[in-house]
Amino acid sequence: MQLYTELYAGANRKVAGRTVGGRSDRVPSLAEVPIAGRAFGHRFLLRAHFLFWRHAMRIDGRCHCGLVTYEADIDPERVSICHCADCQSLTGSPYRVTVICTGEQIRMTGKRPKIYTKTGDNGRPRFQHFCAECGSPLFTSGEDGPDDWGIRWGSIRQRSQLKPMRQIWCRSAAPWIHDLTGLPARPGD
C-alpha cells in the first residue's frame, strides 16, 4: 500500500506524455483505480502503473566491457522471449530475452550506447542500442513513444531472478527449441 500511496500522492503527473492522476489532496482506494482512470480516459494506464509499482524491481547492468552502464526499475513479470528472425540475426542465437519497460525507467550511469536503426519483420523501425566499444546489445526502442523500450536480459546483473513470462514471433522459432532436455549437459566447460 505504501508504494501505491506514493504513486498517487501529489497532483496530476505526466505519464507517457499525458497528464493523468487526480486531486492532490486525495489518494484513490484500490477499488477506485478503474473508476479514477476512466474519468481521465486512462483506465489501463493507471492500472498498469499500479501493477508496476506493486511488482517493481531495481536492476543494474552493463555491456561486456563495462563502458556502458545503467540502472532501471522494472516489472519482473514483463520478461519475454522473441523468436523473430531479426532477434536471431542480432544475437546469433535462436531467440532473445528482453524486459519490456519505458525509457523513463532507465537511467544511464556510464557512457551512452550507440544506436542502429533496423526495420523489423513487422515493418516498423526498431532502434538497437549497443556499446560502441564491445558491441554488446543493451536496449531496444521504437517509434511508438517512451513506453516502447526493452532491456536486453544478458546485460542485466540480476538476470537469474528474471524468468520469461511470454514468447512472441513463435512461428519463426527454431523447430528444435522446445526439445533440449535430452541433450548431454555439463555445469561448466
So what's the pLDDT on residue 46?
46
Does pLDDT of 10 surpass 60? Answer: no
Residues 76 and 45 both lie in one domain: no
Q: What is the pLDDT of residues 99-129, one digit of tens each?
A: 999 888 999 999 999 999 988 777 888 899 9
Higher-scoring residue by pLDDT: 27, 184 = 184
Identify the three-state secondary structure at position 3. Answer: helix
Residues 51 and 92 both lie in one domain: no
Determine the structural domain holding residue 41 and report its residue range: 2-55
Round to whole Å and give the CA distance between 18 and 56. 22
C-alpha cell at 131: 556499446
Q: What is the pLDDT of residues 61-94, one digit of tens each?
A: 999 999 999 999 999 999 999 998 888 998 899 9
Residues 34 and 90 both lie in one domain: no
Q: What percent of the chain has pLDDT over 70?
A: 69
In a domain, 186, yes or no: no
Residues 67 and 159 both lie in one domain: yes
29: Cβ contacts below 8 Å, ≥ 6 apart: none
Burial 116-143, CB ≥16 within 10 A → b, else e: eeeebeeeeebbbbbbeeeebbbbbbbe
Based on the structure, what is the number of domains in the chain?
Answer: 2
Q: Could you tell me which residues are beta bridge partners of residue 19?
A: 14
So what's the pLDDT on residue 163?
95
So what's the pLDDT on residue 97?
95
- For 53-119, list the strands marked E by DSSP: 57-62, 69-74, 79-82, 96-101, 106-108, 114-119
**Whole-number mean pLDDT of the chain?**
76
Higher-scoring residue by pLDDT: 6, 107 = 107
Residues 69 and 136 both lie in one domain: yes
CA 139, 18, 60 angle in degrees (round to 5)?
25
Q: How, if at all, do strands 125-130 and 114-119 pair? A: antiparallel
Does pLDDT of 11 surpass 80? Answer: no
Q: What is the pLDDT of residues 42-62, one digit of tens each?
A: 444 444 444 445 578 999 999
In a domain, 178, yes or no: no
> Nearest Cα to 129, choosing from 119, 145, 118, 144?
118
* CATH value at residue 74: 2.170.150.70
Residues 47 and 96 both lie in one domain: no
How many CA atoms does the CB half-sphere of 23 hold within 13 Å? Answer: 3
* C-alpha dist (Å) from residue 46 to 2, 16, 74, 169: 16, 11, 16, 28
Residues 10 and 93 both lie in one domain: no
So what's the pLDDT on residue 187?
86
So what's the pLDDT on residue 144?
67
Question: 83 and 177 in contact (C-beta within 8 Å)?
Answer: yes
Average the pLDDT over 154-183 and give the result: 92
**Amino acid, res. 154:** G
Residues 62 and 40 both lie in one domain: no
41 secondary structure, DSSP code: T
